[in-house]
Structure 1
Amino acid sequence: MNAPTRIERIPHWPQMMTRKLAADYCCLSEAQFEREIIDGRLPNPVKLGGRDHWHRPTLDQHLERIAGAAYDWRKDSPLYAER
Structure 2
Amino acid sequence: MKARPELPGNLAPRGLNRGLAAVYIGVSPSKFDQLVADGRMPPPRQIDGRRVWDRLQLDQAFDALPGNDNDENPWDVAC
Q: Does TM, scored on the shorter chain, surpass 0.5? A: yes
Q: So what's the TM-score if we normalise by structure 1? A: 0.68
Change over 3 Å in CA distance of 1:11–1:33 after alignment to 2: farther
Cα distance per residue 1:19-73 (max 9 Å; x no partner): 011111111110010011111100011111311110000111111111xx32322
Deviation at 1:11, TM superposition (A): 4.9
Runs of 5+ consecutive residues of structure 2 not aligned to the other structure: 1-8
CA RMSD of aligned residues (A): 2.2
Number of the residue aligned with 1:35: 34
- Cα distance, 1:12 vs. partner? 3.3
Q: Does structure 1 residue 71 correspond to structure 2 residue 68?
A: yes
Q: Which residue of 2 aligns with 1:54?
A: 53
Point out 4+ residue stretches in structure 1 off by more than 6 angstroms: none
Structure with more of its chain in helix, by fraction: 1
TM-score (norm 2): 0.71
Alpha-carbon separation, structure 1, partners of 2:11 and 2:34: 26
Paired positions, count: 68
Q: Which runs of 5+ in 1 are unaligned?
A: 1-9
Amino acid at match of 2:23: D
Are residue 13 (structure 1) and residue 41 (structure 2) matched? no
